């Protein structure tokens, strides 16, 4: 029987007698189940190894010469769908010539693989109405794994993935303008290193809080099995608060915030609790010691926190607002104190030489929270030169906060917003989103990334494009925006030139050797789960990438190797837009009451 006929029989649930559908299953079992079970998957067939939402477009990519493909059920090899591949197309970003396998019509929930006779079979994937729930859970729990200053234990799902309270010996570095010991006050390890950095914490925590504000209805009931679970506050907010606590503690009595808290140099590849290098609060080395970018980021994030936590903990919300306002005033007084590593400090710098965009972001968030016209005026005076930042989002988002400032203005939906500013930002955002849609549709790998995006953390940039599109969808609902965002997720979860799922412990072929100290201390059989690796980087700033062949196209400059910190590290600022993207895929039907905050009661689209 022809596979397409089998599929047609199987899919026609109601119209055919059960015996005929069973018969189709029996016929399919022989060629599929017996012949292909033992075969190893081929990287030439690239699928999202987590899967595809049942009602969405479904593309796989094939880098081998073939004409047709089959989708088979993984349980018994039965053919569910068969179609022609698209024409071969050359992809300059990877140097691959690829065809698209479009199986959008297949909506039947199940676990499948793609089979191309003569080429091989793909890794498996699911089709389901809630395909990304587990990915969201793992990606959010990755933040829990990054907690500093407390014991962490992932429990029976990942036995042995635990660490004792770490970095308990803290002190003020002379560059901070203070001396003496310092308690560990929480926060997340930034990345594969054990530093905590305000600037990167700002964008990451802000992104998670936005995920809550926009997709809260989907997220409210999801339990992350963290120590706070069940305390009445949604877990995404419980987890974000762990980092907020540290950020708030980085504020000095004058309102300014120190730039970072790290050891003097990076520790070796040891477990966090084994790292006994003192954890130093590090400043600029000269009065006023705090940095403007760190302080303005704190103002922005604390202002968001003030509105988001209000229904759950009004006292904490008030504390956050007070911190935000004090930080704002400090940054007014010191608008351009930038940061460079002081002598003797070699950990990450997150040095940003212009903090005007961070202040713009702080102004919008404070205005959204308080309605105070002072912040609004500040924004209106300063936003126009940044409109262009929406056209082609910058490659380092931790240093370029203007797009978040502008988007936040539109997301506010406030009645006192300036009509002209609103219209200008909306138009620019929507034009940019349409351009991303168009170029993704033209991309052989169906991904939004361009050649210029293959820098340190390119996977974070792919996730950010998805986030930009989803925010555009909040402004003007458009299925193209939502579907294109999902294409970027498919790229991250396996539909890429390496056929690699870039999130650890997700899918059947995922990153094994992230540059992540807790994963590489040799105690566990595999990496800590749920973490997004940095991805291909044409900057090649480590020995592994530098040693790759010189003529590689940008999207190929990657190796799954622990030593590759410029390509295979993980970081909270790439993780947060991944969470945002995943949060958008979850279904609101799962939600309990009270998940939404005041602002988000407005229009939303669900997919």
Which parts of this chain interact with ligand G3I (CB under 6 A)?
190-191, 193, 195, 348-349, 395-396, 455-457, 539, 541, 565, 569, 571
- Does residue number 188 form part of the binding site for ligand 9MR (CB under 6 A)? no
Q: Which does 266 bind (CB under 5 to 8 A by kind): ligand 9MR, Zn ion, ligand G3I, none?
A: ligand 9MR
Side-chain half-sphere CA neighbours of 83 within 13 A: 19
Whether 167 sits among the annotated catalytic residues: the reply is no
Nearest to 201 by CA among 398, 354, 340: 398
Phi-psi region of 51 (alpha: psi -120 to 50; beta: other; left: phi over 0): left
SS3 60: strand
Q: With contact defined as beta carbons under 8 Å apart, do 216 and 600 qualify?
A: yes
428 vs 540 by CB, closer to ligand 9MR = 540
CB of 569 to ligand G3I, least distance (A): 4
Q: With contact defined as beta carbons under 8 Å apart, do 146 and 205 qualify?
A: no
Active-site hit among 254, 264, 349, 560: 560
CB-based closest residue to ligand G3I: 348
- Does residue number 569 form part of the binding site for ligand 9MR (CB under 6 A)? yes
| Binding window for ligand 9MR (CB under 6 A); candidates: 43-51, 186-194, 321-329, 518-526 | 186-194
3 vs 348 by CB, closer to ligand G3I = 348
Q: With contact defined as beta carbons under 8 Å apart, do 504 and 511 qualify?
A: yes
Rg (CA), the chain: 24
Q: Which does 539 bind (CB under 5 to 8 A by kind): ligand G3I, ligand 9MR, Zn ion, none?
A: ligand G3I
CB of 473 to ligand G3I, least distance (A): 26
| Binding window for ligand 9MR (CB under 6 A); candidates: 53-61, 189-197, 417-425, 472-480 | 189-197
What pairing do the DSSP bridges indicate for beta strands 196-197 and 279-282? unpaired
Q: With contact defined as beta carbons under 8 Å apart, do 128 and 114 qualify?
A: no
Residues ≥6 apart with Cβ < 8 Å to 55: 107, 129, 607
Nearest to 102 by CA among 426, 377, 361, 441: 441
CB of 359 to ligand G3I, least distance (A): 21
Residues ≥6 apart with Cβ < 8 Å to 156: none
Structure tokens at 445: 């790998």
116 vs 203 by CB, closer to ligand G3I = 203
CB of 573 to ligand 9MR, least distance (A): 12
CB of 303 to ligand 9MR, least distance (A): 29
**Full 3-state SS string of 464-515:** HHHHHHHHHHHHCCCHHHHHHHHHHHHHHCCCCCCCCECECCCCCCECCCCE
| Binding window for ligand 9MR (CB under 6 A); candidates: 25-33, 188-196, 273-281, 308-316 | 188-196
CB of 37 to ligand G3I, least distance (A): 40
Active-site hit among 70, 96, 190, 193: 193
- Does residue number 110 form part of the binding site for ligand 9MR (CB under 6 A)? no
C-alpha distances in angstroms, 87 versus 11, 67, 100?
27, 8, 7
- Does residue number 565 form part of the binding site for ligand 9MR (CB under 6 A)? yes
- Does residue number 192 form part of the binding site for ligand 9MR (CB under 6 A)? yes
Structure tokens at 414: 């406030």
Whether 515 sits among the annotated catalytic residues: the reply is yes
Whether 132 sits among the annotated catalytic residues: the reply is no
- Does residue number 358 form part of the binding site for ligand 9MR (CB under 6 A)? no
- Does residue number 467 form part of the binding site for ligand 9MR (CB under 6 A)? no
Q: Which does 272 bind (CB under 5 to 8 A by kind): ligand 9MR, ligand G3I, Zn ion, none?
A: Zn ion
- The CA distance from 601 to 584, in Å, is 16
Nearest to 188 by CA among 214, 160, 207, 216: 207
Nearest to 303 by CA among 429, 209, 385, 421: 209
CB-based closest residue to ligand 9MR: 193
User: What are the residues binding ligand 9MR (CB under 6 A)?
Assistant: 191-193, 266, 348, 565, 569
Residues annotated as catalytic are 193, 515, 560, 569
């Amino acid at each position: 029987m022809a596979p397409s006929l089998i599929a047609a029989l199987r899919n026609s649930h109601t119209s055919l007698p059960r015996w005929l559908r069973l018969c189709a299953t029996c016929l399919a079992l022989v060629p599929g189940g017996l012949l292909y079970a033992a075969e190893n998957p081929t990287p030439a067939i690239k699928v999202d190894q987590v899967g595809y939402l049942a009602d969405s477009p479904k593309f796989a990519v094939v880098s081998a010469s073939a004409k047709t493909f089959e989708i088979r059920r993984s349980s018994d090899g039965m053919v569910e769908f068969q179609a022609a591949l698209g024409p071969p197309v050359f992809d300059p970003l990877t140097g691959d010539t690829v065809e698209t396998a479009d199986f959008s019509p297949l909506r039947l929930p199940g676990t499948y693989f793609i089979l191309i006779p003569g080429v091989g079979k793909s890794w498996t994937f699911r089709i389901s109405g809630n395909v990304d729930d587990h990915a969201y859970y793992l990606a959010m729990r990755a933040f829990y794994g990054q907690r500093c200053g407390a014991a962490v234990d992932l429990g029976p799902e990942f036995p042995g993935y635990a660490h004792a309270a770490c970095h308990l010996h803290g002190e003020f570095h002379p560059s901070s303008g203070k001396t003496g010991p310092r308690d560990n006050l929480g926060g997340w390890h930034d990345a594969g290193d054990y530093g905590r950095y305000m600037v990167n914490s700002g964008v990451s925590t802000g992104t998670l809080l936005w995920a809550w504000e926009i997709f809260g209805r989907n997220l409210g009931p999801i339990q992350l099995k963290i120590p706070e679970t069940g305390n009445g506050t949604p877990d995404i907010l419980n987890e974000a608060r762990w980092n907020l606590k540290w950020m708030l503690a980085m504020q000095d009595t004058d309102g300014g915030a120190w730039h970072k808290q790290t050891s003097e140099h990076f520790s070796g590849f040891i477990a966090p609790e084994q790292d006994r290098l003192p954890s130093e609060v590090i400043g600029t080395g000269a009065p006023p010691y705090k940095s403007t970018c760190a302080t303005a980021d704190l103002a922005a994030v604390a202002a968001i926190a003030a509105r988001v936590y209000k229904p759950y903990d009004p006292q904490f919300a008030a504390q956050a607002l007070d911190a935000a306002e004090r930080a704002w005033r400090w940054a007014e007084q010191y608008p351009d104190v930038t940061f460079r590593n002081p002598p003797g400090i070699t950990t990450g710098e997150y040095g940003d030489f212009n903090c005007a965009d961070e202040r713009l972001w702080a102004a919008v968030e404070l205005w959204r929270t308080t309605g105070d016209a002072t912040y609004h005026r500040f924004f209106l005076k300063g936003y126009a030169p940044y409109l262009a930042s929406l056209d082609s989002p910058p490659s380092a988002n931790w240093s370029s906060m203007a797009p978040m400032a502008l988007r936040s203005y539109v997301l506010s939906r406030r009645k006192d917003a300036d009509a002209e500013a609103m219209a200008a930002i909306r138009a620019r955002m929507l034009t940019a989103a349409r351009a991303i849609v168009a170029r993704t549709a033209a991309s052989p790998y169906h991904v939004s990334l361009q050649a210029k995006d293959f820098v340190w953390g390119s996977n974070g940039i792919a996730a950010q494009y998805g986030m930009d599109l989803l925010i555009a969808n909040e402004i003007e609902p458009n299925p193209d925006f939502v579907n294109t965002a999902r294409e970027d997720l498919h790229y991250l979860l396996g539909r890429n030139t390496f056929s690699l799922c870039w999130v650890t412990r997700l899918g059947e072929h995922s990153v094994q050797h992230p540059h992540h100290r807790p994963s590489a201390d040799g105690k566990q059989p595999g990496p800590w789960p749920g973490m997004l690796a940095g991805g291909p980087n044409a900057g090649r700033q480590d020995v592994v990438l530098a040693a790759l062949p010189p003529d590689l196209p940008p999207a190929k400059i990657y190796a799954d190797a622990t030593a590759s910190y410029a390509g295979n590290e993980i970081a909270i600022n790439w993780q947060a837009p991944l969470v945002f993207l995943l949060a958008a895929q979850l279904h609101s039907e799962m939600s309990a009451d009270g998940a939404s905050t005041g602002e988000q009661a407005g229009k939303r689209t669900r997919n």
